[in-house]
């Protein structure tokens, strides 16, 4: 029983860590999507929610976009759409590109390091 | 589903979101417009245009509370613990408003769960109640002092020595009723207005806090019952000693006629 409780606590802690990591990383995933091309909010929400575990729900992309805009990492521009209402397009700013490059190199080093230890743990 | 129904559902969702955001984030209008744009975009691209398709769009968007939490977190306004503190503060403000409304109302201004409009209403209501109570109490007091309205029946005999020659007009019931009504309204102003304010604040927390769905109906129910008891029993308490309008001696006017 105690063992189970401890395991639950461990699962809970790792879930909280994953949630925090995801919240931090999703901002850079949006920047990465915008590095390739300008996109509008709905398009970004669709792209992110097509991958499991990226967004809690589609709507949560908007507070994140708001934050990126306030931080000066993205710019917005309204454009007419052929099929519906005008769309607000997001594009990277120079500081957005710089932030993405910095995160990318840090992330690769970090992910490699974690992978190394996880692989060691798995080998007999 | 026609266009009017569709708009109604979308507006309800956005109103729910606005309520969940409360008065806090300055960027709430932009967020609400972004979400509206998302719904319109998804609707335009939906393969079918029916109620189920619209509800699916809203479900994928997520619960307004989740969006509001995300917004607060991204703004760095409510770190995990702060939200709970804010909720406790809000409920404390509601309860304290009943006991000592000036403190409760001041506390409500420190909570981000109510809009400025809600807080303004909560501030004005008990002040109006107090003014109403004071005005009616003063009016009743002055009326008694002038002998127009006096406590019945003790003073009736003393102040109304109707001359035998003059026909004595029966004490009109209207005067007595006016006294009861004025006293009841004065009591409402003093006690009822803070209760109404607390009920209003609790009602506005219904959807804005996690505990709102349980606590708000409970508190609003309690306040309404208290109000009902106040309305039912107060006049009964006031009636026996009610102020009663005593007519001036009829002889005065008759003498004047002569």
Q: What is the pLDDT of residue B196?
A: 87
pLDDT digits (tens, 9 = 90+) for A6-41: 445 566 677 788 888 888 899 999 999 999 999 999
CA dist B195 and B98 (Å) reads 5
Averaged pLDDT for residues A55-77: 93
Greatest mean pLDDT among B24-28, B57-61, B72-76, B99-103 lies in B57-61
Question: A 91-120 residues with CB below 8 A of B?
Answer: none
- Cβ count within 10 A of residue A74: 23
Give this complex's ipTM.
0.84
Higher-scoring residue by pLDDT: B50, B75: B50
Considering only CB atoms, which chain A residues are within 8 Å of B67?
A: 57, 59-60, 62-63
Domain residue limits, chain A = 2-122
Considering only CB atoms, which chain A residues are within 8 Å of B65?
A: none
Q: Is the four-CA dihedral B227, B228, B234, B239 of positive or negative sign?
A: positive
Q: Is the four-CA dihedral B80, B203, B26, B56 of positive or negative sign?
A: positive
pLDDT digits (tens, 9 = 90+) for B6-42: 999 999 999 999 888 876 556 788 899 999 999 999 9
Which residue in B10, B34, B68 has the most chain A C-beta atoms within 10 A of its own C-beta, making it the best mutation to test that interface? Answer: B34
**Are the beta carbons of A59 and B35 separated by less than 8 Å?**
yes
Q: Residue B147 pLDDT more than 70?
A: no
Beta strands in chain B (DSSP E): 149-151, 243-245
CA dist B160 and B163 (Å) reads 9
Q: Residue B256 pLDDT more than 70?
A: no
Lowest-confidence range among A28-37, A91-100, B175-184, B210-219?
Answer: B175-184
Task: Please give the CATH number for the structural domain made up of A2-122.
Answer: 1.10.10.10
CA dist A22 and A24 (Å) reads 5
Query: Which positions ≥6 away from B236 have C-beta within 8 Å?
Result: none
Q: How far is CA B45 from CA A39, A106, B54, in A?
A: 16, 38, 11
DSSP string, chain A: -HHHHHHHHHHHHHHHHHHHHHHHHHHHHHHHHHHHS-EEHHHHHHHHHTSTTS-SSGGGHHHHHHHHHHTTSEEEEEE--SSSS-EEEEEE-HHHHHHHHHHHHHHHHHHHHHHHHHHHHH--
Q: Is the four-CA dihedral A17, A18, A19, A21 of positive or negative sign?
A: positive
């Amino acid at each position: 029983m105690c063992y189970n409780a401890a395991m639950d606590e461990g699962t809970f802690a790792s879930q909280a860590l994953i949630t925090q990591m995801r919240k931090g990383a999703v901002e850079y995933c949006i920047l990465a999507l915008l590095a390739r091309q300008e996109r509008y909010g709905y398009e970004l929400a669709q792209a992110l929610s097509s991958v499991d575990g990226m967004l809690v729900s589609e709507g949560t992309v908007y507070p994140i976009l708001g934050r990126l805009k306030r931080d000066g990492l993205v710019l917005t521009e309204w454009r007419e759409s052929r099929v519906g209402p005008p769309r607000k397009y997001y594009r990277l700013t120079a500081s957005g590109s710089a932030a993405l490059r910095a995160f990318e190199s840090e992330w690769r080093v970090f992910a490699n390091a974690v992978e190394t230890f996880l692989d060691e743990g798995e080998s007999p | 589903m026609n266009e009017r129904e569709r708009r109604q559902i979308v507006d309800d969702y956005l109103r729910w979101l606005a309520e969940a955001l409360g008065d806090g984030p300055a960027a709430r209008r932009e967020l609400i417009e972004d979400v509206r744009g998302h719904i319109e975009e998804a609707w335009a691209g939906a393969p079918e245009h029916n109620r189920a398709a619209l509800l699916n769009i809203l479900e994928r968007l997520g619960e307004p509370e989740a969006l509001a939490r995300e917004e607060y977190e991204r703004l760095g306004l409510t770190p995990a613990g702060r939200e709970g503190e804010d909720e406790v503060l809000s409920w404390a403000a509601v309860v304290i408003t009943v006991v000592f409304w000036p403190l409760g109302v001041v506390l409500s201004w420190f909570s981000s769960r109510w809009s400025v409009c809600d807080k303004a209403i909560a501030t004005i209501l008990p002040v109006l109640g107090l003014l109403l109570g004071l005005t009616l109490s003063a009016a009743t007091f002055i009326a008694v002092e002038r002998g127009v309205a006096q406590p019945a029946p003790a003073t009736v005999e003393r102040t109304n020595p109707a001359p035998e020659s003059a026909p004595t007009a029966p004490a009109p019931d209207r005067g007595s009723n006016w006294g009861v009504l004025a006293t009841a309204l004065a009591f409402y102003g003093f006690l009822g207005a803070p209760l109404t304010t607390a009920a209003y604040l609790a009602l506005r927390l219904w959807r804005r806090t996690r505990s709102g769905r349980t606590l708000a109906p409970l508190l609003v129910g309690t306040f309404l019952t208290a109000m009902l008891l106040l309305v039912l029993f107060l006049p009964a308490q006031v009636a026996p000693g009610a102020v009663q309008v005593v007519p001036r001696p009829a002889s005065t006017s008759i003498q004047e006629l002569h």
